[in-house]
Amino acid sequence: MSQLELKEVTKRFGEVIAVNRLSLQVEKGECFTFLGPSGCGKTTTLRMIAGFEDLDEGELLVEDSLYSSSYRKFYVPPEKREFGMVFQAFAVWPHLTVKENVAFPLRIKHRPSSEIESRVKMALTSTNLMKFKDSYPGRLSGGEQQRIALARAIAINPKVMLLDEPLSNLDAKLREEMRFEIKALQNRFGFTVIYVTHDQAEAMALSDRMLVMNYGVVQQVGKPLDIYNKPANRFVFSFIGLSNFIPVMIKEGDAFIEGTKQIASHNVPRELGPRAVMACRPSDITFMPISEIDEEKGSLGVQALVIRRTYLGDIVDLKVKVGSVDLRIQKNARSPCPREGESCRIRFNKVLWYPEEYPKESQNMTENQPKTSSEAS
């Protein structure tokens, strides 16, 4: 039995379809992330799950119990859904102490005083807030205020924890720390988490599974590593991780980088037309040592010019130009790399192939799928 199920859910705002026929099952104890660009429908979906938005079509079930149905005209209000909710903004009451903030939802449910005391103590201890229990939120940092919201959600012992971009207002270092704290809390208490973010790193770090959305349509559902390594279409490839898209001309099975006579790959899928796009990650491009360049065997690689070299701590980020095409390459800072302004030869180690035309509004999960992946030679 799944913890939560959406069946053919659709939401419209006037003529705009914000969520289009979304079907999904989230398992008990799972951390499930909705990932996508701003306006893709992820927060709207979360609000429908929370009960803040009606379903125009479809049904929502929690543990096989109906919570919302457009067909049956049935609706469970938000306060009766027993969900924990943490928002992007620090949703705390400034006139209440930390302890009073966490206790508030239990008090309005008229829980016994002894139960309130024990639950609040447990929640504050779990979020490292016990020493601040008598402080007011305004005297605490942003991360500590967001912990108050987490503690308040934990205290009600929720069936499902809903988190809507809860780390967006924190600085980079604190965001990273809070990711691990949220995951640790989920592992400790075993509650189901539905997490909304546009941050790929957050999604990859927290998720057991995730869903990638665009224009209200599901593009791919799966484990983070599977989505990264096997993107369902060009949009997913571009949104998850860094990417290069290289226009090529196909002649007799060889891929020539557009505007040049340089061959990027010999392993081109036969079903591609005369023009296509070769996609690769910056980490899947290597610089060829002189010893590997063999004119007789045709192992020349592709000639490029380094136009920018940026040191990013453990990584060197390079921008190189091949003909009129700019490419991004990332290498370990300890690896030998050409300097800015130097010519070099590069090799594409792993690529995916896409048709030349790319629809801006993907309509389904299979549209514009990669033809195949290959080791470029």
Question: Tell me: the pLDDT tens digits for 86-112?
Answer: 888 778 899 999 999 999 999 988 999
Q: Is 354:277 a contact under the CB 8 Å cutoff?
A: yes
Is it the case that residue 314 has pLDDT exceeding 60?
A: yes
Residue 212 to residue 222: CA distance in whole angstroms: 9
Residue for token digits 């514009």? 368
**CA 339 distance to own-chain centroid:** 34
Question: What pLDDT shows up at residue 368?
Answer: 57
Question: What pLDDT shows up at residue 125?
Answer: 92
Q: 97-123: buried (b, 16+ CB within 10 Å) or exposed (e) per residue?
A: bbbebbbbbbeeeebeeeebeebbebb
Is it the case that residue 360 has pLDDT exceeding 70?
A: no
Once rounded to an integer, what is the mean pLDDT over residues 194-222? 94
Fold for domain 243-374? Answer: OB fold (Dihydrolipoamide Acetyltransferase, E2P) (2.40.50)
CA angle 34, 79, 179 (to 5 degrees): 35
Q: Is 50:59 a contact under the CB 8 Å cutoff?
A: no
C-alpha dihedral over 112, 66, 161, 363, to 10 degrees? -160
To which CATH superfamily is domain 4-229 assigned? P-loop containing nucleotide triphosphate hydrolases (3.40.50.300)
Query: Where is average pLDDT lowest: 7-11, 90-94, 257-261, 356-360?
Result: 356-360
Once rounded to an integer, what is the mean pLDDT over residues 318-326? 94
Q: Could you tell me the pTM of the whole model?
A: 0.86
Residue 328 to residue 243: CA distance in whole angstroms: 8
Task: Beginning with the edge strand found earlier in the chain, give each strand of the sheet holding 254-257 in spatial order.
Answer: 263-265, 254-257, 244-251, 275-280, 351-355, 373-374
Question: Could you tell me the residue ranges of all domains in the chain?
Answer: 4-229, 243-374
Q: How many residues does the chain have?
A: 377
Reading the block at residue 241, the tokens are 């991780």
Question: What pLDDT shows up at residue 35?
Answer: 96
Residue 356 to residue 368: CA distance in whole angstroms: 10
3-state secondary structure of 223: coil
